[in-house]
Structure 1
Amino acid sequence: MMKPGSAHLFLVAALLWTPIVRSAAQPQAPPTELDEAARFLAGIHPGPGSPLESLAARPSWQEHAKEMDRLWEYFRHFQLDPIRQWSAQFLETSFSSSNPVFYPFSGPDAIYPRCFFPRASIYVLASREEPGLPPSFGRLLSSNLDGELPRIRQSLQWLLQWSFSVTKETRRLTASSVLGGLLPLYSVLLVRDGCRLLSVERGGAGGAVSLLFLGPEGREQRLSYFPVNLEDGSLAASGLPRYLGNIPRGPTLLKAASYLLHGNGFSQLRGLILTRSTLVLQDDSGIPIRFFSSGWNLRFFGLYRGPILIFREFYQPDLAAMTANAHPPPLPFAFGYRWKAEEASLVVATRSPRLPPTSARNSRNPNPP
């Protein structure tokens, strides 16, 4: 928006979250084709003897690599490093936990859940965009890279510079032979964050596609993307609630969600989030503050200034009062639609250990379908 199954998968979903730590003493496996192709798209020079080495000599790729370095350095300096430092201080056990992370309305954003929760075993992303095909040698060798590489940069520029994406632009830019969807963008973001891509798994519930990768610490992790309609009437049939019900509870991230959870059209998703989350980290476009019961501990960061102009009808007076009374510390990074750090704010809602999983005040359908 602006950012807004198979039975076998369900039987094994509870097992997939267990992290596999590989010893540093183990020999490194050779890079996969998926990993090499993703690194090429990310502007990282292929190794000697790679089928992509000749493509990297082209002026268009040289320019792409320079621009990707510039984009990533900007993001690392202003967003990634400050968020990781902040998260280690304020999210504490959630920052270091391996519990799965849920991120609805994700669009092309595979990096912000890793900024806040870098050790999660599974990142469950969901939005309506097509997953597309993973990068491969064949698609790169047969593509018009002079036209495709700028589309990669443009598809990620909003996210890396302004912290949100524009759905219409993402769909326009990914309608190409190299992209065709979100998987190539997820792949680029993961390898830029120091991950090594292992494989792609298809055929999951609701058309889910998973990227299996090794994080920088050598831990096996998974990104599962659900290309689904999250509205009431479509969510239950998507297979997503059942999948989430078969893995451990964990944090939910809501960012630049077009205020869709403020209305009645996404009440089932709102109830699902409140039911299964151990922590909700969100900007004001997520769940309205009135839906959090007394069993949730609310912390505020940054000064709430209300929505940007095009969403002005979603102003929350109760959030404004609670934030002002809390005298919250400033945020050292931009978040959501507020692309200046001094204007950004977020809420961290942590479930009380005594709050039953089904406690979700004012939710019309608190139990997942």
Structure 2
Amino acid sequence: MPKLKHASLLFLISCIVSCSLYNDTSARTQSPFFATPIDTKLVEATRFLAGKPISPSSSLFQLTTDKRYVAYVDEMKKSWARLQQKNLDAIQQWRKQNLPAKYNKTIFYPFSGPDILNAVAFFPDGDEYIMFGLEPCGEIPDPHSVSKERVFSGLWGLRKSLNEILNVNFFKTLDMQKEVSTNEFNSMISIIMWFLGQLDYEVINAKKIWIDDNSLITTLPPVTKQNKYIPGAEIFFKDATGYIKRVRYFQINVIDNSLSNYTNFIPHLESYKRYATIIKSASYLMHNDTKFTKIRDLTLQHSDLILQDDSGIALKFFSPYQWKLTFFGVYTKPVPLFAHRYQPELKEKYDTLSKGPLPFSYGYNSGIGKSNLM
């Protein structure tokens, strides 16, 4: 019989687990990324985007006194307080009561877009976060080097890009494709930096990367179009204790026929060994029987714990011999766009086994008391 895994929230948590599997951060004295150099301009840029105080000695300080910046910060603070701060407070309390204290230090977030927010909210002790989406990374923001007008135009572009998640706690793919650009201020990189800044992490370094033909990370772009390089970015950030973490985001379509062309992606993901996985607002793509089998199989095979809503992996793919499932919240039916992904067997599970409503919003059925986690 295969090794039993537990899944609370699709907590697919391994039943037979040694302490070494989880690499307890509390027992560590040093981050694996401790030698990362600090880019002071990037530290300032993140604080500037997030509306955090800037040193009077910074070249950005004068911009913070401009009424357009004051209005931008005020608008962002109101939006954050309206949903996200309440949501995050509730997630923190719920996490402490319902998630394991120890878990794999690689956090995998398929179909994430730039949503580092929920990844670190549920798994704050991760060392690295692996994310991907359809949108290009864009440029690394540097408000020090562009005109004042470009800065303020860019900030309002960033505000527009963030509007959805600040109000309903998920990104709509079509909206992201329209609103997010390669412009340095409303790029995927900028959005990730903004979230980290809001959460009081210090972003210390960022660079563009690629997965090369050998499934390895390189900082050198492909020489020819024949190279099947996958573009991405990596961002290093410090928590309040000075512990350095890393997030990597890749731009890729993971439908099976695309992965047959980009054969370097799955081996790269496999190189991270074991994950704790979070799935949220994933468009029910891994429900498909024939089109997203490779990414679904990879996720099931390499995760020791999965936390997901009903838009992630369909219930039928979780073998009762391999997974222990725990259910939280309520399941009624998918939103109209995904009505065809209704799972009657999942409805029965929630109706009989749910541990009660969730005190926060998660996924497409947004609103406190309306969401579900398996």
Pair in the same fold by TM > 0.5: yes
The superposition leaves residues 42-79 of structure 1 with CA deviations (integer Å, 9 ceiling, x where unpaired) of 12232111111111111110001111222222344321
Displacement after TM superposition at 1:170 (Å): 2.0
Q: Residues 38 and 141 from structure 1, CA distance in 2 versus in 1: closer, same or farther, beyond 3 angstroms? A: farther
Aligned ranges 1:81-96 → 2 under 5 Å: 81-93=89-101, 96=102
Name 2:365's counterpart in structure 1.
338
In 2, Cα distance between equivalents of 1:329 and 1:139: 51
Name the residue aligned to 2:180. 174
> Would the aligned equivalents of 1:302 and 1:343 in 2 still touch at CA under 8 Å?
yes
- In 2, Cα distance between equivalents of 1:215 and 1:21: 14
1:329 equivalent to 2:356? Answer yes
Corresponding residue number in structure 2 for 1:32: 40
Listed one character per residue, the Cα deviations across residues 80-127 of structure 1 (whole Å, up to 9, x for unaligned) are: 11112111111123xx43511111111121100001001101100001
1:245 aligns with 2:251: no
CA apart distance, 1:142: 5.3
> What is the letter of the counterpart of residue 265 of structure 2?
L
1:101 paired with 2:128, answer no
Match of 2:331 in 1: 304
- Structure 1 unaligned segments of length 5 or more: list them: 1-16, 24-28, 348-369
SS at match of 2:360: coil
1:226–1:240 contact (8 Å) kept in structure 2: no
Secondary structure of the residue that 1:35 maps to in structure 2? helix
- Residue by residue over 1:307-335, the C-alpha shift from the partner in whole angstroms, topping out at 9 and shown as x without a partner, is 01121111001101111111421100011
For residues 74 and 22 of structure 1, the distance between their equivalents in structure 2, rounded to whole angstroms, comes to 37
Q: Return the offset for 1:275.
A: 0.5
Residue 87 of structure 2 is aligned to residue 61 of structure 1: no
The residue identity in structure 1 corresponding to 2:299 is: I
Match for 2:140 among 134, 140, 143?
134
What amino acid is aligned across from residue 286 of structure 2 in structure 1?
Answer: L
Classify 1:240/1:176 alpha carbon distance in 2 versus 1 (closer, same or farther; 3 Å).
closer
Equivalent residue number for residue 315 of structure 2:
289
State the Cα distance separating 1:144 from its structure 2 match. 2.5
Would the aligned equivalents of 2:331 and 2:371 in 1 still touch at CA under 8 Å? yes
Does the residue aligned with 1:338 lie in a helix, a strand or coil? coil
Q: Alpha-carbon deviation of 1:22? A: 6.2
Per the alignment, residue 254 of structure 2 pairs with: 230
What SS is found at the alignment partner of 1:114?
helix
Q: Taking structure 2 as the reference length, what is the TM-score of the superposition?
A: 0.81
Which is worse superposed, 67-76 or 36-45?
Answer: 67-76
Q: 2:293 aligns with which of 267, 291, 307?
A: 267
Cα shift at 1:255? 0.7
Query: Which region of structure 1 is more displaced relative to structure 2, 164-173 or 108-117?
Result: 164-173
Taking the aligned partners of 2:147 and 2:57, their CA distance within structure 1 comes to 15
- What is the SS of the residue equivalent to 1:145? helix
- Deviations along 1:193-227, one digit per CA (max 9) or x if unpaired, are 11111111333312231101112332110000111
Aligned residue in 2 for 1:45 = 53
Q: 2:280 pairs with 255, 259, 271, which one? A: 255
Indicate if the aligned counterparts of 2:138 and 2:188 stay in contact, CA closer than 8 A.
yes
Secondary structure of 2:153 counterpart: helix
Q: Which shifted more, 184-193 or 239-248?
A: 239-248
Secondary structure of the residue aligned to 1:118 is coil
Question: Compared with structure 1, are the counterparts of its residues 18 and 202 closer, same or farther at alpha carbon in structure 2 (3 Å cutoff)?
Answer: farther
Matched, 1:317 2:344: yes
CA shift digits 1:269-325 (9 cap, x unpaired): 110110101111111111100100011010000111110112111100110111111
The 1-side partners of 2:38 and 2:233 are apart by 23
Runs of 4+ in structure 1 over 4 Å off: 17-23
Q: Which has the higher contact order (CA 8 A, sep 6+)?
A: 2
Normalised by the length of structure 1, the TM-score is: 0.82
Other-structure match for 2:87 = 79
Tell me which amino acid in the other structure corresponds to 2:99. Answer: L
1:112 to 111, 118, 127: 118
Partner SS, residue 121 of structure 2? helix
Contact 2:143 2:151 in 1 (8 A): no
Distance 1:200 1:18, change over 3 A: farther
